[in-house]
Amino acid sequence: MRAYANAEWDRLKSVALHRPSFETFFGVLDPKSSLYERTFDRKAAEAEHYKFAEALSMFGIRVYMLEESIEKASRKDSFRKELEALAYSSIRYAGRNTESRKLVYEQMESYSPSDLLMISELKPEIRKAGARSEFVVREPLSNLYFMRDQQVTTPGGIIIGRMSKPQRAPETRITSLFFKSLGISHMIPEYKNGTLEGGDYMPCGEFALIGIGDRTNEAGAKKLMDSLKGFDEVALVEQPRHPLMVNGFDPMLDMHLDTYFNILADGLAVGQPELLKLAGVKVFLKSGNGFEKIPESTNLYDYITSKGFAIIGLSMLEQASFGSNFLCLGKDRIVSVDCKPVAEKVVRAFSHIARSDAKYARISARLKSEYSKGMYNFPNRETEKRFGIDYLPIDLSNLTGGYGGAHCMSCVIERG
């Protein structure tokens, strides 16, 4: 199978998803250090994910589930051995635990593929204390269900990224094995100082956008540009500092490009105007066998309109409710977060944090004000109807507690 994507608006043929499971339990126990926005109901989140996957299937999109694909591929001995090796390397033994380590190593074949995958996701430590053992979950991969970020899908195939946060860095070992289970060739660049995450990349036909900031840095973006030579132009979009933060900076508020901007169709974009105007843009034009930066700089709002795109604006509350984090299916059709049920939870979460941290006071007040005015209805607004957008909003009010929506949760396999 060949993975490819030329433009966000091309017809979506297949995607990869991972249904959140027990690993998210540890995320909701400690949301902030797990890179979550808030606590949420895990079982309700799993049900939301089922509906999301069913909606994609309903539109004729083939959905590859990570766990199911790995289980199927494990019927082959060679693949099974790779899965066993990944699981075994994920276990840490402490204390006088030689016997347990040896037993587990010698009997790896007794574990089901599902168990091996869970070991790899939870990264357990077994501490021997006399006749008893203490079990510690060291680095649960609570964010694995955000399948956009571990890689980017380019016109030439899948490129595995290098994740910025230690909580997420091990995820690429699992997703690399997953792509192998599908028979998809993928490239793993040798990063030195670079980081690259898929939520920061958007192919746009003749040009491409790469967000740079807290998650993808400029070194990682330029490494990716080496594989984007089919584009005439690449724009590096600098993560904006949120204008409503008082004497502080919270990179989570717009961590990836797709958290405040997205493409609805050829010539039509969605974004939060204040953030778009604060997002600086460096433009690189194709030159010889690479790209050369032009001296002029601009911002994302002006850049995207200069490309002939109209921009549908989001309120600050709609942006915070993941309004821009929809998945384009092609033919002016999207599957999106239904902002309305999310907005109430977002307002409550920011109100709570603002009581103990004054730098969130202005953004909390703005979100409350917009909520009182009903500014949370994307994509169920007259604006979207005027543009003829066919949309399916889905209640993802629990899943978004992990800090992402439909775009974040899906990895494009085939588009075009």
pLDDT digit string, tens, across residues 39-91: 999 999 999 999 999 999 999 999 999 999 999 999 999 999 999 999 999 99
pTM of the prediction?
Answer: 0.96
The pLDDT assigned to 22 comes to: 94
- The rounded distance, in Å, linking the Cα atoms of 157 and 63 is 18
**CA angle, 408 then 376 then 58, to 5°:** 50
Q: Does residue 77 fall inside a structural domain?
A: no
* Domain interval for residue 349: 4-69+141-415
Residue 340 near residue 397 (C-beta atoms within 8 A): no
Helix (H), strand (E), coil (C) string for 263-312? EEECCEEEECHHHHHHCEEEEEEEECCEEEEEEEEEEHHHHHHHCCCEEE
Q: Does residue 90 fall inside a structural domain?
A: no
- The rounded distance, in Å, linking the Cα atoms of 378 and 338 is 7
DSSP H helical segments within 59-170, as ranges?
A: 66-73, 77-89, 98-106, 113-122
| Domain total of the chain | 1
Q: Does residue 171 fall inside a structural domain?
A: yes
The pLDDT assigned to 91 comes to: 93
Q: Does residue 334 fall inside a structural domain?
A: yes
β-strands 186-187, 157-160: how paired?
A: parallel
Q: Regarding predicted confidence, which is higher, 99 or 332?
A: 332
pLDDT digits (tens, 9 = 90+) for 103-158: 888 999 999 999 999 999 999 998 887 778 889 998 999 999 999 999 999 999 99
Residues in the chain: 416
pLDDT digits (tens, 9 = 90+) for 355-381: 999 999 999 999 999 999 999 999 989
Domain of 341, CATH number, reads: 3.75.10.10
Q: Does residue 54 fall inside a structural domain?
A: yes
Q: Does residue 155 fall inside a structural domain?
A: yes
Task: Tell which phi-psi region holds residue 257, choosing left (phi > 0), alpha (psi between -120 and 50) or beta.
Answer: alpha
| Residue indicated by tokens 């040009």 | 207
Q: Does residue 197 fall inside a structural domain?
A: yes
Residue 64 near residue 72 (C-beta atoms within 8 A): no
The pLDDT assigned to 39 comes to: 97
Q: Does residue 82 fall inside a structural domain?
A: no
Q: What are phi and psi of 245, to 5 degrees?
A: -80, 130
